[in-house]
Structure 1
């Protein structure tokens, strides 16, 4: 099997490496090589190519609560005129972590993060005042169950981080694959002490290090959003089943026009059909509405302005 791949083209081995790095962005080249049946040097070359060509960005993503983001919202935006122009205005806002141009009933999807519901309300008022925005429909996340990019689950204990922890988080946000030697140099600790700190931050759900896939149009996977309406007693059992889908990259229980929000990545239209058919066949799923993410204008999952 040849290890030489044309620039910009991902093969099955590349895709397998991307999946591994999505799950754990700090896997060593030796660990990756063993999982995809390559030599260590070939695995290292593949990883470097994925990074240098912009297919992925491996970074540490901090738990939203550490950043003071206790309320998360998904906003579908209807526009009059150029969706690209509106998308750029939305992407310029500090409180938007995701801006995507989509197919379907709405031209754009936006994710907002804020300290409380009052800030979300204020942000929505500002969004509606942007020239070109006609309508906004909002979902509030009540529970994020799966997110391949960010930590989910209980927030870290308040006051559990010190200045060195914050310095490490900033370094990991910049480069999730930085060596312990390089991290140690940036925070003034020994490599062994740095390793203990990083392991503690990872185990404590403070940060998650993984590959963020940069949707450039060159990758073979397409992202599809799915809004689900569920039977009342079925919310949690169905969520547990949806979280096990290999193609699921994001899953949240929500308040609004949908009871749950799901994002799946599939390589083919046939694969998407199979996923949707499986979801619709789950006991308790009443309706499933879909939209395609055509272009991600902004994908920022962490703030680089952390402070102790």
Structure 2
């Protein structure tokens, strides 16, 4: 059994070091979070037992988790990036309040301002006074809340590029070729309504994206054949994707940075293309607000931040202004925080 628990930090890694085969396993899971150990073993040239042992070692030490991430329905939902100013004495309490909410992700404690940031998913306003963002502002009981609407992701949607370099092109192709058949998405099916059963499945997969079909069926009261079919359909429609949560420190990246870029509109596509090729960029999206691009960056040391801004961002066209903020710790990442029930 598992229970949701708010930790002081999600960077809980008990004396774990990644070797090359660990990195290859993590790369394979990012490509297909529900791939069987047997399938991964065949592609990686390892035994199924060795793959299973590596996965469970990393999982048991909170160094790895596969979570099911639900992409927002643009017609019914909005994703907002929030910066929250709270008195120092109440920051931890506000972080706990945010972390237990099902509509929040990527909650960070900020070193420079001393505040918090997070991503909040809200329903699209209905026009009858039901504005979830304003309700959050009134109900959160915090100081100033600055909100930017996330418009279009431009980097990091398929996983941080820094951990997608362990497999060869032939291994990536082999993993894709042995995947269960997936059909092309259509624009109409991507926004199709989800049933109550779908929502139950998505909630269970958010906690553990590798939960077996048998356990999913038992917990959701849905036949196994239906569970298997619905997961495939949700993935095909672009509703469900799988994210590997792993501490970047295991890859030698000890510095987490939030970066805002003020970009000339005519240069937005060029900047987006540039960021998508940068291994330092874990995620980036265009936004509303005084800056129009937000990026999450990962570095081994602060000196690399200077070099990145001066050389790589400096070479991008149309960037007028850059603002950065160091992350002191992540309170929550993509999925809920779980520890074994004792």
TM-score range normalised by the length of the shorter chain? 0.7 to 0.9
Unmatched segments (≥5 aa) in structure 2: 1-12, 126-130, 160-185, 337-342
Q: Report the counterpart of residue 265 of structure 2 in structure 1.
A: 232
Does 2:266 align with 1:221? no
TM normalised by structure 1 equals: 0.77
Query: How far is 1:189 from its partner?
Result: 3.4
Distance 1:126 1:161 in 2: 28
Do 1:148 and 1:249's aligned partners in 2 also have CA atoms closer than 8 Å? no
286-295 or 88-97, which moves further after superposition? 88-97
Matches within 5 A, 1:129-208: 129-130=141-142, 133=143, 135-146=144-155, 147-148=157-158, 157-183=190-216, 188-191=222-225, 194-208=227-241
Q: Deviations over 1:230-287 (max 9, x none)?
A: 1120112311331233343221111112110011233444554554331231122222
Q: Does 1:81 find its partner at 2:88?
A: yes
**Aligned partners of 2:188, 2:58: CA distance in 1, in Å?**
32
Return closer, same or farther for 1:91/1:194 CA change in 2, 3 Å cut-off.
closer
Unaligned runs of 5+ in 1: 1-5, 303-308
- The structural deviation recorded for 1:194 is 4.3
CA apart distance, 1:182: 4.6
Cα–Cα, structure 1 residues 190 and 125, in superposed 2: closer, same or farther, change >3 Å?
closer
SS in 1 for 2:233: helix
Report the CA distance shift for 1:284/1:24 in structure 2 as closer, same or farther (over 3 A). Answer: farther
Select the residue among 237, 255, 260 that pairs with 2:293.
260
The CA deviation at 1:226 is 1.1
**SS of the residue 2:73 aligns to:** helix
Distance 1:9 1:58 in 2: 17
In structure 2, relative to structure 1, the CA distance for the partners of 1:8 and 1:59 (3 Å cut) is same
Matches within 5 A, 1:256-295: 256-269=289-302, 271-276=304-309, 277-295=311-329
Among 278, 299, 310, which residue is 1:245 paired with? Answer: 278
Q: Which residue of 1 aligns with 2:331?
A: 297
Q: How does 1:16-31 map to 2 (within 5 A)?
A: 16-31=24-39
Comparing both chains, which one has the higher relative contact order based on Cα–Cα distances under 8 Å and sequence gaps of 6 or more?
2
Contact 2:16 2:63 (C-alpha < 8 Å) held by counterparts: no
1:19: how far off? 3.8
Q: Distance in 1 between matches of 2:189 and 2:329?
A: 33
Q: Does the 8 A contact of 2:206 with 2:335 survive in 1?
A: no
**TM-score (normalised: structure 2):** 0.70
| Number of corresponding residues | 287
Q: Secondary structure at the match of 2:296?
A: strand
Against the structure 1 CA distance between its residues 258 and 162, is the aligned structure 2 distance closer, same or farther, given a 3 Å change threshold? Answer: same
Provide Cα deviations, 1:75-95, integer angstroms capped at 9, x if missing partner. 222333233233234334454
RMSD over equivalenced CA pairs, Å: 3.3
* C-alpha spacing 1:71/1:168, structure 2 compared with 1 (3 Å): closer
Task: Summarize deviations over 1:80-127 as a string: whole Å, max 9, x none.
Answer: 323323323433445433321112245221222211352212322334
Does the aligned pair in 2 maintain the 1:77–1:106 contact within 8 Å?
no
Aligned-partner Cα distance in 2 for 1:154–1:106: 42
Distance in 2 between residues matched to 1:98 and 1:171, nearest whole Å = 19
Instruction: Quote the Cα distance in structure 2 between the aligned partners of 1:34 and 1:113.
Output: 39
Q: 1:107 to 1:26 in 2, by over 3 A?
A: same
Q: Which residue of 1 aligns with 2:63?
A: 55
